[in-house]
Amino acid sequence: MLTPDSVLVIQQDLLLRAAIRSRISVHQLASLALLLVFVAQCLWFMAHVPLAEVEGSYVEEGLLHIDQLPQADSADRSPLVSLLAGIPARVFGGEEHFIRLDDYRFVIRLPFLFAGVMLGASLWYVARRLYGNLGGYIALALYAFSPMAITRSSQVDPEIIGAWGAFGLIFTAIAVAHTLYAPREVVLWNWRRILLMGLAIAICVAAQFALWIVLVPALAFMLWVGYVRPGAAAIIFGVACVVGLVILWALYFFQPAEFSKALATANWIEFAPRQFASRAPYALIGVFLLRNGPGLLLLLAVTLGVFLAWQRTRYFGTVAPLIVSVGLLACTIGMQHYGGASFLFIALPFLILFAGGVSTDMLESRYAVLANALVVGVLIANAMLSVYGLLRLSH
């Protein structure tokens, strides 16, 4: 027999389940499934690809940096990547069995898998907010079966960290700018977003010093979107930069001498205009896109043509990622050595976002049947090529 107390407990339980169902939609579950497929591919890669020598060097540098011995930074990057690789090795005992470090490759690579998953989740969230559920699915499906995203997320690699930081920086800046229309004290009210933007700045720049250049479009978008309060936008941006600088300093254990030396010797930029006349950088871009799958390259070519020809596709939601993509590709061409090549991967999520946005408009046009065949074909081809490439690892 039910008592009044038991009835109350049942009612509260039913209300809690209803609240959870209202917060978790079918679209979120489907996106979570895509992210789990991405994680499964990364784990397969980790299982079949041993720890590379360069990954072992990151671990060794991180362990030394933890003990405040020789610094793990270089002219190109801060100690962040080395610390992310070294801390799991120390926590899980890899340091004591360094000769068998490959046995600990899953835990050593775990922070980079986390960054890859968070980048995919961020990409889905932004695409869904800009283009609706359909745009979110397209962008996340392109990312989840991207060979470049899978390999970078499955190894000790600074590029996946930098890509996550850069993507978060751009769209946190845009989100903050939208709040400037609110009739309130926007600077104090935005303290959480300021801290988040500062964290994104720190992650981005710590992964590679040359990525400071992403601050330029971030500030430009803040002033563009938040033109009603340019002073507040500039203050918020400045405070976020200070927060990012403090977090970056923390990576050097708040040692002023070491930090100032790192900033003074950092390779902030090495732009060479003559590179634009060379064929090599353009060939590098082509090879990168082909290795990421010919499907995305085809979709990018089509969506760029549609963007130029069809005015409906030209709005802030597609223009912003395209501007960032073009800027990063220009850095790829104009910069040399390590810096330029890494900008290619940083541009990848922005290219995927742009392709997803224009594809969504195409699917809602009178040419929806043709667009549907193209988009679905690309997604299926990308998935098949990705899975096939991973299966080849076992042979």
DSSP per residue, 158-207: HHHHHHHHHHHHHHHHHHHHHGGGSSS-HHHHTHHHHHHHHHHHHHHHHH
Average pLDDT over residues 193-197: 92
Say if CB 203 and CB 80 are below 8 A apart: yes
pLDDT surpassing 60 at residue 10: no
- Picking from 91-100, 237-246, 259-268, 315-324, which range would have the lowest pLDDT averaged per residue? 91-100
As given in the structure block, the two tokens for residue 123 are 């990409």
Measured at the CA of 275, the angle between CA 273 and CA 281, to 5 degrees, comes to: 140
Say if CB 308 and CB 392 are below 8 A apart: no
Say if CB 365 and CB 376 are below 8 A apart: no
Average pLDDT over residues 24-29: 77
As given in the structure block, the two tokens for residue 144 are 């989840």
Taking the CB of residue 175, how many other CB atoms lie within 10 A of it?
Answer: 17
User: Cα torsion at 46, 48, 53, 57 (round to 10°)?
Assistant: 20
User: Cα torsion at 269, 270, 276, 281 (round to 10°)?
Assistant: -90
Average pLDDT over residues 8-20: 47
pLDDT of residue 15: 47
pLDDT of residue 328: 93
Q: What pTM was computed for the model?
A: 0.91
Residue among 143, 144, 132 at smallest CA distance from 361: 132
pLDDT of residue 270: 76
Taking the CB of residue 28, how many other CB atoms lie within 10 A of it?
Answer: 14
pLDDT surpassing 50 at residue 347: yes
Average pLDDT of the chain is 87
- Picking from 2-6, 23-27, 146-150, 375-379, which range would have the lowest pLDDT averaged per residue? 2-6
